Amino acid sequence: MEGERLVVYPRLSSIVRNTVVVVREPGKPDRKLLKRVVGVPGESVEFKEGSIWINDQHLLEQHLNSFPAVIGLAGASWNLGCDELFVMGDNRAHSTDSREFGPLNIDNVVGVVVFRYWPIMRWGRIRE
């Protein structure tokens, strides 16, 4: 959410699905984006039936609450390379993410979000 304050660790090792990351936007290296990893290297990502499918398996995204999983790009699909991630914002209606710029090279990951310290009532660890 806008206005939150987060603790971000540099990218250490492999990144798994649902990890919240800070990435450099492709083509705009000075612009940083906060995104959730949806697809990891070697997977296929497809939008169908209003949902995200990973390797032909429906992806359940409980963190979205009442937000729609997929907005636009019905029928779109990507095959991720060995160094690519598919990232999306949790607010899918207002997010610049892999739906727009495609799979993201893992080198564009600046860090992993691990903790929220503001606002105080939402204080806590960010879980995958």
Write down the domain spans for the chain.
5-125
| Sites in the chain below the pLDDT cut of 70 | 1, 11-12, 61-73, 127-128
**pLDDT value of position 45:** 94
**pLDDT value of position 110:** 92
- Diameter of the chain measured on Cα atoms: 41
Q: How many residues in total does the chain contain?
A: 128
pTM of the model: 0.83
Going by the DSSP 8-state scheme, the letter that residue 31 receives in this structure is: E
Whether 47 and 70 have beta carbons less than 8 Å apart is answered as: yes
**pLDDT value of position 3:** 73
**pLDDT value of position 61:** 67
CATH fold of 5-125 reads Umud Fragment, subunit A (2.10.109)
**pLDDT value of position 64:** 55
